[in-house]
């Protein structure tokens, strides 16, 4: 017996009372690899990428996966093999791209705090472009490039002061945010960049935030970007590419973000109407490619009924799934083997010594000690933000491809955690 796929999870479904990712039984994977366990669907990631590729058919566009969403090597390799470039924000991320078979020449280096050693290493690797985030960074990058006898390809990230209507911690395009060059300083900054001998101006960049679920912020940002391109080129600095960033949201709890191909149909129509239809484009999707492709399997350790709250204590915690504690984020939580008994209302919490270690508030669940649950939409900003708080080992990861399940990260050991530490005396 087959039941419908879970909302927003086209490759996750119940079959005969068991939860599957593609053709892999999650209970069997948990028994084999233990919990907490991250499981990802290859088909889901490629389907999400295909929506962008459909939207850009016939256009000159480079899709750069924003790997801060999930930087596991096997996932980077999957996108590299599918033709993606990458958006990185540290030398560590660039090192992962190269280790996974990605190309530096198809990689954009973003971030507000690039160090001189990072700039040097990226230039020596043949980085495709630096997204420069401040006027001071331009000067340092020029010095570093000249010291190597190279020219640094640059795009300047502009701050268009557009409200992405998302959580304030992941809003990046407003005047009060730390990212990008202020709108009114952009033309002068481009003129300075063009005058510096160690720099080669390539494009313009904009990224207004993450988990955006409406078209209007993108349309507003594009209008402001195109106004700036016109002003910069009138000032004598040609712009070869326009980088419109990423940030498209996913369905965590009934959100209805536009499909990538539908969104880009609107954005490309605006580009065409303003005479920029043939300009080279770059985009930097992250969450929208991997977020709903992953889940975290966790075991119910204890049930603790109380007068005010009933606590369902699981073995996954805020170090594994940091988004609820950090952003008050919602993740669907479902059983791997649903029970027929009436649900109770539970606070789903982890074992870490923090009251902020919660995964879900007031969830209706029919559960017993030893049951397995799946925390959905965990493919983005979970493993990449995981920590060893309370000296907890980071979880294992499995990538499912049809009926095949590949272990792509072994569970960390205590020896792994302490390998670089030294006692004295």
Enzyme catalytic residues: 353
Give CA–CA dist 313/50, Å, rounded. 38
Helices (H), 126-203: 135-148, 186-195
Give CA–CA dist 103/83, Å, rounded. 10
Helix or strand or coil: residue 195? helix
Q: Please state whether beta strands 311-314 and 294-304 pair in parallel, antiparallel, or not at all (unpaired).
A: antiparallel
Contact by Cβ (8 Å): 55, 283: no
Q: Which residue has the tokens 């999400």?
A: 48
Give, for 19, the enclosing helix (H) or strand (E): strand 18-21
Contacts of 162 (CB under 8 A, 6+ apart): 173, 174, 208, 217, 220, 221, 224
Distances (CA, A) of 416 to 39, 48, 113, 139, 212: 22, 34, 29, 40, 37
Contact by Cβ (8 Å): 118, 90: yes
30 alpha-carbon distance from chain centroid: 25
Q: Which residue has the tokens 């030294």?
A: 422
Among candidates 406, 394, 338, 328, which has minimal Cα distance to 368? 338
Distances (CA, A) of 203 to 40, 193, 241, 283, 335: 34, 11, 5, 12, 48
Give CA–CA dist 348/339, Å, rounded. 17
φ/ψ (deg, to 5) at 6: -70, 150
Give CA–CA dist 164/158, Å, rounded. 15
How many Cα atoms are found within 13 Å in the side-chain-facing hemisphere of 196?
27
Give, for 346, the enclosing helix (H) or strand (E): strand 344-349
């Amino acid at each position: 017996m087959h039941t419908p796929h879970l909302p927003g999870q086209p490759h996750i479904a119940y079959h005969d009372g068991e939860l599957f990712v593609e053709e892999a039984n999650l209970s069997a994977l948990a028994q084999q690899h233990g919990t907490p366990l991250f499981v990802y669907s290859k088909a889901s990631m490629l389907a999400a990428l295909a929506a962008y590729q459909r939207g850009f058919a016939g256009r000159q566009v480079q899709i750069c996966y924003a790997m801060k969403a999930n930087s596991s090597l096997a996932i980077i390799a999957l996108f590299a093999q599918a033709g993606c470039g990458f958006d990185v924000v540290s030398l560590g991320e660039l090192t992962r791209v190269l280790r996974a078979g990605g190309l530096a020449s198809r990689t954009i280096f973003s971030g507000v705090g690039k160090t001189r050693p990072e700039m040097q290493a990226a230039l020596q690797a043949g980085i495709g472009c630096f997204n420069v985030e401040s006027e001071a960074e331009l000067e340092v990058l020029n010095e570093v490039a000249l010291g190597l006898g190279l020219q640094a390809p640059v795009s300047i990230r502009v701050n268009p002061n557009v409200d992405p209507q998302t959580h304030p911690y992941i809003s990046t395009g407003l005047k009060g945010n730390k990212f990008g060059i202020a709108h009114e300083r952009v033309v002068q900054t481009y003129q300075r960049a063009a005058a510096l001998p160690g720099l080669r101006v390539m494009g313009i960049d904009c990224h207004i935030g993450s988990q955006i679920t409406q078209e209007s912020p993108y349309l507003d940002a594009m209008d402001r970007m195109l106004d700036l391109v016109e002003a910069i080129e009138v000032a004598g600095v040609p712009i070869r590419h326009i980088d419109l960033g990423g940030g498209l949201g996913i369905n965590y709890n009934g959100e209805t973000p536009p499909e990538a191909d539908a969104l880009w149909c609107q954005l490309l129509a605006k580009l065409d109407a303003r005479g920029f239809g043939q300009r080279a484009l770059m985009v930097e999707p992250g969450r929208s490619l991997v977020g709903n492709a992953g889940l975290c399997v966790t075991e119910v350790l204890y049930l603790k009924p109380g007068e005010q709250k009933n606590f369902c204590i699981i073995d996954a915690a805020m170090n594994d799934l940091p988004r609820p504690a950090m952003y008050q984020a919602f993740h669907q939580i479902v059983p791997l083997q649903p029970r027929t008994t009436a649900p109770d209302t539970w606070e789903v919490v982890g074992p870490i010594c923090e009251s902020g270690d919660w995964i879900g508030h007031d969830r209706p669940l029919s559960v017993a000690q030893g049951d397995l649950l799946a925390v959905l939409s965990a493919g983005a900003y979970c493993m990449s933000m995981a920590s060893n708080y309370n000296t907890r080992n980071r979880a294992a990861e499995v990538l499912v491809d049809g009926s095949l399940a590949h272990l792509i990260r072994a569970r960390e050991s205590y020896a792994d955690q302490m390998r670089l530490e030294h006692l004295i005396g």
